[in-house]
Each structure stands twice: as structure tokens, then as C-alpha cells.
Amino acid sequence: MTRAEIDAALRLALAESARTAESGDVPVGAVVLDPGGAVIGTGRNRREADADPTAHAEVLALRAAARARGEWRLAGCTLAVTLEPCTMCAGAAVLARVDRVVYGARDPKAGAAGSLWDVLRDRRLNHRPEVVPPDLVSPGVADACAAVLTEFFARRRIR
């Protein structure tokens, strides 16, 4: 993927994250792109909205993409997410066999794509997607992904 394609995918994920405002969920968005770059699945955090601990943006986007493809294997696909996946979401990406995971902001408290754990590149697993971290994203896009989360948590602390 080119940097322009990576940035475009993350902008779509950012737009999805903005849809969490009414539910009070942490603003994380995700999209799954097919091998040609078309969006085949979207998701945003819905843990609060659905009272579901597994309703993370990545899981919902992967489910939607699998439904769109009619199969659980998402070979050739890219998962783009605004925040580094947690262990559950990284595991779901591995199990879905996505080719690539792109993320816009690191998560030093729960990240499983290199920050705290590295599930996506664990050599003991049978599938290891390519990982595109924020360093390989345009600074403006990576900054926007981080800023959405910083602002959300700053507003929560003020209350």
C-alpha cells in the first residue's frame, strides 16, 4: 500500500470513529478494504451502546467484511483502525487471515501490535499480517487519530 492509500483508509476509519459520539463509546473506528481497495466492512466501538465487551471497532469491521465476502477468511484484505488493536482484536485479525493491519495511534496500555504485546507478529502463530504502525502514516493523519482519543479522555476527566 502506498502512503496515500494508508492515509485514505485511516481517514475512513476516523470518520467511522466520529459516529461513536452519541453512545459515549471510546472513539475508535475501523475499516476493512478488499484487495482492490474497496471498503467491505466498517466498525466503530459499540461496547457501551450494545453492552457487549467484544463490540470493538475491529471485531465489528471484520464481521461485516466476512459477511460481505461470504466467508471468514479475509486473505488479501487490509484492516485499518485508528487505535492500535488490543489482544482480542489482534487475535481476530490473525484468525481472519487479513494480509495487513494499519493503525494510526499507539496504545501503550493495551496495544498488541508492538506497544505492550506483539500478537500480530508472534512467530508462534500460523499467520502474521504485515503491520503498518503510525511511523509509516502521514504525520497529520496519525496526529488526528491520536487527537480524537486525547480529546475524548480529556473531556471525561473534566466531568
Q: Which of 48, 58, 71, 151 is catalytic?
A: 58
125 and 101 Cβ atoms separated by less than 8 Å? no
Give the whole-angstrom CA distance, residue 115 versus residue 107.
6
| Strand pairing class (78-83; 39-44) | unpaired
Angstrom distance (rounded) from CA 54 to CA 8: 26
89 among the known binding-site residues?
yes
Alpha-helical regions (H) of 18-138: 47-50, 57-69, 87-96
Active site residue 84: no
Strand partners, 112: none
Contact present, 97 and 127 (Cβ < 8 Å): yes
DSSP annotation of 113 reads B
Q: Which residues pair with 20 in a beta bridge?
A: none
Could you list the residues known to form a binding site, using ranges. 56, 86, 89
Instruction: Kindly list the catalytic residues.
Output: 58
Could you list the residues known to form a binding site for Zn(2+), using ranges. 56, 86, 89
